[in-house]
Structure 1
Amino acid sequence: MPRRHLRMTGPADTPLRASLCELRTELGLPDDFPAEVLAEAAQAAKNPAVSAHEDATDLPFLTIDPPTSTDLDQAMHLERRRHGYRVHYAIADVAAFVRPGGALDTEAHRRVTTLYFPDGKVPLHPTLLSEGAASLLPGQTRPAALWRIDLDAEGGVVATSVRRALVRSRAKLDYAGVQRQIDTGTAEESLALLRDIGRLREEQEVVRGGISLNVPEQEIVAHDGTYGLEFRAPLPADGWNAQLSLLTGMAAAHLMAETGTGILRTLPVAPDGAVARLRRSADALRIDWPHHVPYAQVVRSLDPRRADHAAFLQECTTLLRGAGYTVFDHGELPTPAVHAAVADLYTHCTAPLRRLVDRYAAELCLAAVAEHDPPEWVLAALPGLPKEMADGTRRANTVERECVDLVEAALLKDRIGEIFDAYVVDVADQEPTTGTVHIDDPAVVARIDGGDTKLPLGERLRVRLTQAAPGSSKVLFAPA
């Protein structure tokens, strides 16, 4: 998962936007799609392959995304059953628009994933599709892979199926609006059930030993004609919605495991040294972590609105490093097969507009339920997907890291020499005089060079800004 999210919620100054544009060029990212890709996308938008799709437009779906999002991968409809719940989860059917081996397909394999910048994105597919004909926009009939997952009264899975269907979203909602409707009791039943099912799935996560990190986002916000950085703690609705995506990813992984062919998202268990290091940071931050209490339980007790807890949550992401994609065939699951943070078999299948592998996972699951072999184009591409996704993930992480560095440097370039209150959230093992500090105001996580002084991991420290220059030098602090 990304270490830090960064997004603009208000206008930023022109120099920052210009620097972000220059960054795209420096990283060699594509500026636009080739003409033949756009032509194929235009044709596909007019004539998607939907002859095999059932009509499910009677289900009143809704989507929950950030307010400005238009590449909508998922839509939901939730029902109460006699002894539990039914989750209808519609995922955009990208395969209805992308012809295997065609120009669109080739370009998607080149890009692998949508790359997000604070002021925009470099999309996986042309926006004519990803924000138009293939997106689950409200009031539009769209092809989808429609999941139906039945849960018992405790939120456990009792039945899973997926089929191709035409769906129609009735409403595009955002997290703040959803939280407000649920809190005030004004949400209709299908939306109100998001809280009930979300909480049950969170309880199931506890039983499994899984963990979801509520890491605060960094937001670029307008301030008196300029901009600043702030942390935004996720809402409960963010977590409930994420639980439905996790539920579907686990259901998909188990379907593939039953048929013996698939691709999993895996994560090894963190080594003891990493956990011990995190425990030292928790001790220094005065976060209560008794030795008999599991790491996951401690994380669930944290409040991301508190500066010390937010700092610790940022460091918790270090235990999630090492995730990858693993293909299996002939019924032999890989080792490890489980995603350590999910604590179950898991795959990516809910974001095909933004991530290449999800299109293939959907096809494998559709074939599994229909009890026929996966398409040849899926089987042919499957062995190469882990490397393609690894390369794409590295590129996305580079974009994220460079964007954060650039924005923080732009924010702080006129404040060199100032002193800030910080937490030391990381110290290099081989060089304990260097590390990372977390500053709450402004919301910055940056490097620190202690010179001849060993840095106190997890403790508060007064630090001085020594350098910050967008495009040339990263933000750097020193002990004050």
Structure 2
Amino acid sequence: MKTLADPANRLSHGLAAIRTRFQVPEGFSRAVLAAAEAAAARAPTGHIDRTDRHFVTLDPASATDLDQAFAVEAAGPDMLLHYAIADVAWFVDDGDPIDLEAWRRGTTFYLPDGKAGLYPPVLSEGAASLLPTGPRPAVIFTVRVTPDGAVHLDGAERAVIRSAAKLAYDSVRDTDLPPGFADLTARLQHAESRRGAARVDPPEQEVALRDDGSFALVFRPRLASEERNAALSLAANMAIADVLRAHQTGLFRVMAEPDDRAVARLRQTAVAFGLDWLPVATLAQFEATLDPGDPKQAAFMLAIRRAGQGASYQPFQPGIVPWHAAVAASYAHATAPLRRLADRYVIRATLAVANGQPVPEIVTAAFDKLPVVMARADAIGGQIDRAVIDLAEAVMLQGREGEVFAAIVTDADDRGARIQLCDLPIVTRLALRGAEPGDAVRVRLVSADPDRQRITFEPVV
């Protein structure tokens, strides 16, 4: 990691400006906080006691808003994933102040110096979070995983659980995890490969807060523990989607395949990068072979992400199969209700249909309204993320105007070229005509303006 030199504290000032620019909420109103305090004191009723099961959580070390805990059980040749999800709906009533504020926000917004939560901390980091500090109400989805990795929802129930351990991505050991975890995740990941799923994430450009209070601008590849944990969430969300589709209800996460023109451009990009993409291999098959630790392959993975049409939410529609191209299956969001508004309603619908009950009308009505709310929240979150990166890049480069940097072109279109600096984790655009992906270029820094979150380069001829 490279620590940012920020003696004037421009990053903190810039983050405050970004919060103002995007109207990131600061705290909660007194009415919301009072309602949350009252809700946090509720004792679970109608919840089955499952505190005898060995549940654990697996998250970033610093996380306190824990949506998911899991336990694993053998069932003959099958494996059972008992996936406990924070029972947010137990604490939040339809139309109460907490609910209304959550509809205004849509999601939790994350910035390097802190987050703006979807729910007040007394719930999201306390009574509703699946922390190992005592019993918690949860919704348990029991997902049956066959030897070939196929998934089926065996049941859903409200239960009280007790997490035995808060495990962290960067320090977890296999011996910390429930017996059977490795077998379970291997089945799920093999099934992804057979489906042709392209759920391969490139390294993320991010601003990280270091232990000494300084910031670093980094490319952070996903850890193997994150991928294995994501496989559990994916399995539950696929099984839930199948159940909801069968009952002609639900809200689904959908994403179209890159079109033929985009795939043709990606094939040219692969040639420019010197990557061996066989003509008979699909994009999904090729992406699954890529190594995010290799700079050119990581750049190509970023190009694939940009070539897609983006994901969105879609309520159930008769005769239409909701499809997520990266997952290569129908898929719902149900496993992060502390951070995403939509998940609370998908969970409520799944609880109903899994137990032979009608889906509440207020949930069905929400499915029609949520796509717009979630699209707005996702867009704001993406804009915040990009603004934070732009700010960090400007702070890192301020004072180096006139310096020449080596770079590689990762993408090019009629607007110019997108370049990756070779020695710094910085990606930017350049007005460069005739550039091709894979071209090595030299660029001069013209300006670095933290106040405007903008850096400008010019090509060195």
In the alignment, does 2:223 pair up with 1:264?
A: no
In the alignment, does 2:274 pair up with 1:248?
A: no
Could you say what secondary structure the match of 1:421 adopts? strand
Quote the sequence identity (%). 39
- Counterparts in 2 of 1:225 and 1:269: CA distance versus 1, 3 Å: closer
Deviation at 1:80, TM superposition (A): 2.8
Give distance in 1, aligned partners of 2:56 and 2:427.
Answer: 36
Give distance in 1, aligned partners of 2:398 and 2:316.
Answer: 50
- Counterparts in 2 of 1:224 and 1:390: CA distance versus 1, 3 Å: closer
Partner of 2:330: 345
Partner of 1:109: 103
Q: Work out whether residues 5 and 395 of structure 2, in 8 Å CA contact, stay in contact via their aligned partners in 1.
A: no
In the alignment, does 2:435 pair up with 1:441?
A: no
2:427 partner letter: V
Partner of 1:233: 221
- TM normalised by structure 1 equals 0.90
Deviation at 1:206, TM superposition (A): 1.5
1:409 partner letter: A
Deviation digits for residues 113-150 of structure 1 (CA, Å, limit 9, x no counterpart): 01111221111111111111110001321111101111
Partner of 1:477: 457
Out of 187, 201, 223, the position equivalent to 2:188 is 201
Deviation at 1:276, TM superposition (A): 1.2
Could you say what secondary structure the match of 1:177 adopts? coil
Deviation at 1:311, TM superposition (A): 1.1
Segment of structure 1 superposing worse, 80-89 or 9-18: 9-18
Partner of 1:129: 123
Deviation at 1:219, TM superposition (A): 4.5
Partner of 2:316: 328
- Please give the residue correspondences for 1:57-456 in structure 2 after superposition, counting only pairs within 5 Å: 57-178=51-172, 181-182=173-174, 187-188=175-176, 190=178, 193-220=180-207, 227-328=215-316, 332-334=318-320, 337-428=322-413, 430-431=414-415, 434-450=416-432, 453-456=433-436
Q: Work out whether residues 228 and 442 of structure 1, in 8 Å CA contact, stay in contact via their aligned partners in 2.
A: no
Partner of 1:3: none
Deviation at 1:458, TM superposition (A): 2.7
Q: Work out whether residues 72 and 181 of structure 2, in 8 Å CA contact, stay in contact via their aligned partners in 1.
A: yes
Q: Which runs of 5+ in 1 are unaligned?
A: 1-6
- TM normalised by structure 2 equals 0.94
Partner of 2:48: 54
Deviation digits for residues 173-192 of structure 1 (CA, Å, limit 9, x no counterpart): 111222xx22xxxx0561x5
In the alignment, does 2:442 pair up with 1:462?
A: yes
Deviation digits for residues 18-57 of structure 1 (CA, Å, limit 9, x no counterpart): 2101210121222121110000000000115x21211111
Deviation at 1:194, TM superposition (A): 3.0
Deviation digits for residues 358-412 of structure 1 (CA, Å, limit 9, x no counterpart): 0000011001111111123212322111111111111111111111111111111
Deviation at 1:155, TM superposition (A): 2.0
Deviation digits for residues 229-288 of structure 1 (CA, Å, limit 9, x no counterpart): 222222222111111111111111111011111111111221111111111111111111
Q: Work out whether residues 311 and 423 of structure 1, in 8 Å CA contact, stay in contact via their aligned partners in 2.
A: no
Partner of 2:39: 44
Deviation at 1:15, TM superposition (A): 2.4
Segment of structure 1 superposing worse, 232-241 or 250-259: 232-241
Q: Work out whether residues 411 and 436 of structure 2, in 8 Å CA contact, stay in contact via their aligned partners in 1.
A: no
Could you say what secondary structure the match of 1:31 adopts? coil
1:91 partner letter: I
Q: Which runs of 5+ in 2 are unaligned?
A: none
- Tell me the matched-pair count: 458
1:145 partner letter: V
- Counterparts in 2 of 1:368 and 1:10: CA distance versus 1, 3 Å: farther
Q: Work out whether residues 404 and 443 of structure 2, in 8 Å CA contact, stay in contact via their aligned partners in 1.
A: yes
Q: Work out whether residues 61 and 170 of structure 1, in 8 Å CA contact, stay in contact via their aligned partners in 2.
A: yes
Partner of 1:15: 10
